[in-house]
Amino acid sequence: MMLSRRWSAFSVFFISLCLPASAGLAAEPSAAQAAVIAQQMQRYEGRVPGAALLVLQDGQPVVSRGFGLANLEDAIAVTPQSNFRLASISKQFTAASILLLAEDGKLRLEDPVKRWLPSLPSAADRITLRHLLSHTSGLIDYEEVMPADQSEQLHDIDVLHLLEGQDRTYFAPGSSYRYSNSGYALLALIVGKASGQDFASFLRQRIFLPLGMNNTVALEEGRSSVVNRAYGYSETDGRWQRTDQSSTSAVLGDGGIYSSLDDLARWDAALYDERLLKAESLKLAFSPATRTDEPHVPFYGFGWRIDGDTLWHSGESIGFRNVILRFPKERLTVLLLSNRNDPEPYATASAIAEAFRQR
C-alpha cells in the first residue's frame, strides 16, 4: 500500500528551543518503515474517526502525521495540532505535579493522605501519597460506588465525597497493587491544597507553559476550552456516534488533560533532562515502585508502566484510545492518539516501534 500524498503536508518540525540540544532536521522514515506505518494505520484513513501518530528518534520527529477525521460532522482532518483527550496518559502529569511540589518542599511522598484530605474515613489512615502514586493504596474505585443513574459530571472533589462514605479498602495499603483512578483524583486535590491554586492552573503554570505546551489543557467546562479539538466517537451497528463525554470525563487527576503531538513532543523532550524535574524526581517516576499483574506491565512507577527498558502508558476513555511508548536508552518514542473506541492502540504502536528499533 502506498503512503498518502498528505505525508509531507502533515509532517512537522518542532522549534529547537523545546527539543534536546542535539535536535536538528528530522529524518525521513525508510521505505520499510513507511510501509509498516501504512499497513498499521490504514484503519484510521478516510472519513472515519482518526488518529495522530508521532515517532521521535534522537530528539527528532521522524513522523508526525494525522489520519482520518477529528470531527466527523464538520469533516475536519486530524493534524499534529489536534488535541485529544489523553485519558489515563494524564496520570504522568499528575505524578509530575506531586514530584514538583515535593521538590518545592511543599509536601513529602510519605505524607499520609489524610494530612491533606482529613475528611477521608479511618480506613485511609495508613495510605500515603506514595501509595496513591503507585496504585498500592487499596482505595475503592469511585466508579463502583457512584450512583448508577449518575447524569451530571463528576469532578475530583466529588470523588473525595464518594470515598468519604467508604470506610474500607480492597487490601491493606502497600500490600498489593490495584490500578486506581480514585487515587489520582485525590492527588489532583492534594496538588491544589499544597500549591494554593487549583490543579488545572498549577498544570498550566508549572508544566505546560514552561515547556511551551501552549495548547495543552486540563479541561474545565465553562472555564477553559480546547482548540483544534478532536471529538470522541464509538462505532455502534456499523455507524460512528459521537461519544465524547461521560459522567466521569470531568475528573481531571485521572484523565482530564487534552494535548497534541506537537505539545507532547515537548513533554517527551523534558523527560530527558532537568528542564522541568530534577534527575532524582525523574528516577523516582521511572523506577519500579510496585509489581503488577497486568499484561506488558511487570512494574508500575509514578504515572508510568515499566516493562524492562520500556516506559509506557495507555489512556482509554469513552471515544478515545491512546498510548505512549518510550525507549529512553534508544532515544525513541512512539505516541498514538485516537478519537474512537476501537482498536486498542498498544499493538499498533508496538509494531511501529519495532520498525524503528530495527534500523
Is 246 annotated as catalytic? no
Name the nearest CA neighbour of 347 among 323, 318, 326: 323
Report the distance separating Cα 300 and Cα 224, nearest Å.
32
Alpha-carbon separation of residue 191 from 127, 198, 253 (angstroms): 16, 8, 10
Which is catalytic among the residues 4, 8, 64, 88? Answer: 88
How many other C-beta atoms lie within 10 A of the C-beta of residue 268? 21
Name the nearest CA neighbour of 325 among 348, 343, 342: 348
Name the nearest CA neighbour of 51 among 62, 64, 32: 64
Instruction: Using the Cα atoms of residue 334, residue 337, residue 342 and residue 344 in order, give the sign of their dihedral.
Output: positive
Name the nearest CA neighbour of 163 among 110, 114, 97, 101: 114
Residue 355 has phi, psi (to 5 degrees) of -65, -30
Across-strand partners of 55? 63, 334
Amino acid making up residue 185: A
Alpha-carbon separation of residue 144 from 119, 159, 210, 215 (angstroms): 20, 11, 37, 33
Report the distance separating Cα 322 and Cα 316, nearest Å.
6
- 188 with 262: CB under 8 angstroms? no
Lookup: cell for 258: 487534552
Please provide the distance, in angstroms rounded to a whole number, between the alpha carbons at the two ends of the chain. 21
- 66 with 52: CB under 8 angstroms? yes
Name the nearest CA neighbour of 267 among 282, 250, 283: 282
Element (H, E) at 350: helix 346-357
Residues marked as catalytic: 88
